[in-house]
Structure 1
Amino acid sequence: MKTLLKYTTCCIFTLSAASTVSAFEYPTGIPDAWISPDIEAPTPPTSWTSEIENMYYIDASNSNCSIKVEYGSKTTPRCRFPYKFAAGSYAEIHGGPYNYGNTAYIQSEGTAANPVWVVGSKDNQINMSLVVYGTYLYIDGLNIGGDKGISARPYHSVQTDHIMVRNTVITGTGSLTSGTTGISANGGKGLQFEGFIAYNNTVSYMGDSEAEKENDRHALVAGSYINDVWHLDNTTHHNGGDGVQYSHGGVDAHHFYYGRNTSHDEGENCVDIKKANDVIISENTCYNIEKSSSSQGACMVVHYDPSRIWFINNNISECVYGISSTGAHELHVLGNDIRGMKEIQSETHGDISSFQSGTGIMAYNTGNTYISNNTITDAVRGIAYQALSGFQVNITGNIITGLNSGQFTGNNPYAIMLKGNSTTVGNSNIENNLIYNPTQLYVGNTVYTDLQSLVSAGKCDDNGGSCLDIDPSFVDSKNDLRITSNSPALDMGIIPSSYASYEALYSKKISTDLLGNPRTFDMKWDIGAYENLNGENVDVPVFDAPDGPTIISIDVLKP
């Protein structure tokens, strides 16, 4: 800061102090980052006609730009990016396109008190990949094309941590043969990366989302040797791989937070969790995911046995599976709105299979599983769990209604399909659910078509019968799944153990519904994803798919 202050006699320039105290509203359950993602960027000088130490004016489109100036100014800008920024530096990128190499490497020596800012003007255009490394680097407002992206990772064994990328637009060409990940962050052995934020970015058309062949061009990635990652308020669509993929390698990867993002029409999944532990997926919108050669068609999926995975208050629609776990040590699925799960044409599973396509929540090879307060409609299966020995499964407080027979197989709809280890199935906790149209469950080796026989079998038997088989009375059964003030689901829920467990682990409360309404509004919990506020009118968000670039041309391959 001292090197900047000596210029205040001729220029007005202020650096906003980084503060952990912020009015930024985080999605449900997600802890605060070290800095508010929407912190105001530094204000540039009112006059920038001469060079100022550690302040970089870059404009390759200016005919007066030079590769010989150190910092640049409006009069004579730099033509290229510097390789290294000292603590407290500020860089402003104008014009372009910047394509003087395939990759530009940028090192930051920022500190918590004096971070480095790299800010793009509205007209900037970068057609190179950026590898960013070092400490306390905040990138704001870049436009990146040419199938290039941003990779935050140690380079030349330089410790890398506390990096933010925000307000950046990355647009590919939809090519099957070119492209890379939009925004990635990875540490290295002995170089643990702590603290990464990707906020309010848009990543699209990285790879070919329509290709049957796997092309794994993901929008967002956090890999190994990294912890405390925030992906917030991003929009991703039409990428060849996942909207976000977490830790395929799975080494020292934990505490990843994915909140309030919108992802749709991806080639694989909106969310793909591999081996990262303590992952929070909260308040996201995901839709239009189809089966491919490399994906079962799940909107959100967990693989490879990570621990403490949480899906909280997400909107999920028009996929083959809503939330799928093919392996996890501990899984919590709470408060989600899941609708429109479709059977695939190539479905071969039988009528009582746990793997039937068109399932809202499916889990197998999965340990302790807690599924509560979800609303599931328009599917072939509501919840399907293949039980393992020695684990607990709780299915409580869910509304499951409006199920359909398989479009291609004619397989029967089941609200709950619970099979596998007989002891785990016998000890399972199925209580306070509303199951309607149809009332049909498969538990153990038995089909149940009425609640009384289920109660006699020891399920839904709290207080003589805790489940309901009556119309939930939605505001609009097609578009608005809030319950009305006359709904039988009112005050009929219970408080699942997951909510206290979450607070004990992460010191955050998650007792709000999908619209942010308090679950304890009237001191009693409702069944389903939405808490009724005694007739109060609450706006329901409407999400529109972003327009794709007009330059895209994608051939649809025949199966």
Structure 2
Amino acid sequence: MPAPSFGITQAPGTANYFVDNTHSAATDTDNVSGTATRPRRTVPTSLPAGAVVEIRGGPYLLSSQVTWTGGGSAAAPVFIRGIGSPVMTTTGTTGEIVVAGQYFVIDGITFDKLIVQMASGLHHFALRRSTVRNYSPSSNSSAVNVQGTDIVVYANEVHNNGDPTGAVEIDIHGVKLGVGDERVWVVDNHIHHNGGDAIQVGSATSAEPWARFVYIGRNTMHHDRENAVDIKQSRDVIITENDMYGYSPRASSSGEAVIVHNNPDRVWVINNRAHDSARGIVSTGAIGFYVIGNLVTNIHEAGFSTTSLSDGHGIMARATTQIVAVNNTLWSVDGGFSQDGNAPADCVNNIIGAVSAGGHHLGWGSTTSGSASLIRNNLLQGTVNILWAGSRYTSLSSFETSTGKGQGSVNASPQFVSSTDWRLLAGSPAIDAGYATSIGTPHPVFALFEATYPGAGAITRDISGRLRSVLGAQWELGAYDQNSSSTTVPAPLTPSNLRIIR
């Protein structure tokens, strides 16, 4: 994903505003900015360019709604920085911190029982290294509600907002994006035990302009009431390098780690780990659903049906067009990959195995879809089980003879390093077994990504972050390239820019 222009690397200068409500000399009277020895008791609500607010002490009891406006510039951002994670909370059951302005960073604050609500028109804002917890209103909401452009939500913990085990649906999401949001990064966060999704983008019916250019990366998400990532009406969403687990069926969710629906445009799910959930990566309505390089394991749904094209599946699509599933590893799943619609789907270079008894490696609901699909160069472990428009095939040869599909596929053990390490050992039949349009040229989805997002970089690295290499004629199958299969840990890089503090 591309790096944001603002929000990650910017660092505050020397503090010029001081807040500490526990200091014996603290006062707001005739004390606009405070000093270290005579700090303010409250955070100023409007801050000029270059302001660096240092907050100590706490907890701070706020009224139901407080607005912080940062009037920063690219050359002189505004920072509100917590020292020791000071707690902002409310005198009521819930409250609201409204964030307005531009070129503004909030770093190191704990928000308790408060929603962080971004105001319309906000741009170049970052919420960093903060905690948002215990926000539980009585109706649908979110703990961090994004509005604006060039927004960064980085390295926060967002947890226990709403009821993650509630029988009645009251959606309290961890992070929510919606209409007009553009260029938003939600990265390196720990989001868990919320009463809705960890991250939701768009709504079932969104006004234009839909949220666009959304990057969801390197987050750990688990045990929320519904899903880790829920993509609704939006465009150009990239979900990459996340770890997602602990999702179970509820009255309002089937327990998918990733769910895509309501026909968003171009959703990319790349190099993620999705595991220990009822379903893996699912689209029930999208225009462009690209699932590449993911490791999906331990996906099991109570009472799964062996004829179902959705129960307990690692990757599943229906009512979706432009479906691509390339170089994924699906292991210990009730079902592998399925397409339950009429659109074609590319299912190429995947490893699928340890499928539940009676479950299928591959499933197509209609011959209309299947006959137009690219299905080849997959490794299927165990007894072959392919569901094809109501018929079953139990060997790759019979499948290829009857349908003309499955060329280059193998029925074998992939020879992983171990039962919990899905890298490939030397000699694995998955090595140098991938499909390519020509020698050394991988599936065209990789070029499509670079052409669509020219500043985002290539996606030709495997799930371990190593560049996929062609050791023989073609790439490997599955999420790991053989180049990263060595069990020897490489030596660390020589450190630089070190100094000794005495």
**By the TM > 0.5 criterion, same fold?**
yes
Pairs within 5 Å for 1:355-504: 355=310, 357-388=311-342, 391-405=343-357, 412-420=358-366, 422-460=367-405, 465-477=407-419, 479-494=420-435, 495-504=442-451
Shift of 1:375: 0.4
Partner of 1:278: 236
Alignment match of 2:101 (pick from 124, 127, 134): 134
* Counterpart mapping for 1:158-173 below 5 A: 159-172=121-134
Match of 1:466, as an amino acid? G
The amino acid that maps onto 2:307 is I
TM-score (normalizing by structure 1): 0.81
Counterpart of 1:117 (choices 53, 74, 79) is 79
Describe the SS at the equivalent of 2:411: coil
String of CA shifts for 1:68-125, please: whole Å, max 9, x gaps: 2111112221111212111111111111111131221011211111111111111511
Structure 2 unaligned blocks of 5 or more = 91-95, 436-441, 491-502
- Give the Cα–Cα distance (whole angstroms) in 1 for the partners of residues 7 and 433 of structure 2: 38
The structure 1 residue matched to 2:482, chosen from 509, 532, 542, is 532
Would you say 1:200 and 2:200 are equivalent positions? no
Determine which of 226, 236, 253 is the counterpart of 2:191: 236
Q: Does 1:64 align with 2:10?
A: no
Asked if structure 1 preserves the Cα contact closer than 8 Å seen for 2:7 and 2:151, the reply is no
1:302 to 254, 260, 263: 260
Cα pair distance change 1:526/1:460, threshold 3 Å = farther
- Is contact 1:460-1:466 (8 Å) kept? no
Report the equivalent of 2:11.
Answer: 40
Contact 1:238–1:264 (8 Å) recurs in 2 = yes
Matched position secondary structure for 1:239? coil
| Alignment pair present for 1:31 and 2:2 | yes
Deviation by residue 1:129-180 (Cα, 9 ceiling, x = unmatched): 31101111111111121x21311122xxxx321110000012217x685895
Pairing 1:44-193 to 2, within 5 Å after superposition: 44=15, 55-68=16-29, 69-128=31-90, 129-145=96-112, 147-154=113-120, 159-172=121-134, 177=138, 181-186=142-147, 193=148
**Which amino acid in structure 1 is aligned with residue 449 of structure 2?**
Y
1:458 Cα deviation after fit: 4.0
Q: Distance in 1 between matches of 2:179 and 2:484?
A: 47
Q: How many residues align?
A: 472
Give the equivalent residue in structure 2 for 1:519.
468
Q: Please name the residue that 2:289 is paired with.
A: 331
Distance 2:485 2:242 in 1: 25
SS in structure 2 opposite 1:225?
coil
Deviations 1:6-44 (A, max 9, x none): xxxxxxxxxxxxxxxxxxxxxxxx111113614333233
Q: Deviations over 1:342-374 (max 9, x none)?
A: 1224x5xx542323x211111111111001100
Confirm or deny: 8 A CA contact 2:464 2:484 kept in the other structure: no
Q: How far, CA to CA, are the matches of 1:272 and 1:338 in structure 2? A: 17
Contact 1:56 1:91 in 2 (8 A): yes
> Alignment identity in percent?
30
Classify 1:539/1:293 alpha carbon distance in 2 versus 1 (closer, same or farther; 3 Å). Answer: farther
Q: CA deviation at 1:306?
A: 0.3
Distance in 2 of aligned mates of 1:314 and 1:394: 19
| TM-score (norm: length of structure 2) | 0.90
Aligned CA distance change for structure 1 residues 534 and 76 (closer, same or farther; 3 Å): closer
Conserved 8 A contact 2:62-2:88: no
The Cα RMSD (Å) is 1.9
Residue type at the aligned position of 1:271: V
- Aligned partners of 1:232 and 1:38: how far apart in 2? 13
CA distance in 1, matches of 2:198, 2:165: 14
| Counterpart-to-counterpart distance in 2, 1:179 and 1:126 | 22
Tell me if the contact between 1:401 and 1:438 (Cα under 8 Å) persists in the aligned partners. Answer: no
| CA shift in 2, pair 1:42/1:179, >3 Å | farther
- Segments of structure 1 that go 5 or more residues without pairing to the other structure are 1-29, 45-54, 187-192, 406-411, 541-559
Q: 1:393, 1:474 → 2: CA distance?
A: 27
Q: Offset at 1:434?
A: 0.2
Deviation at 1:221, TM superposition (A): 1.2
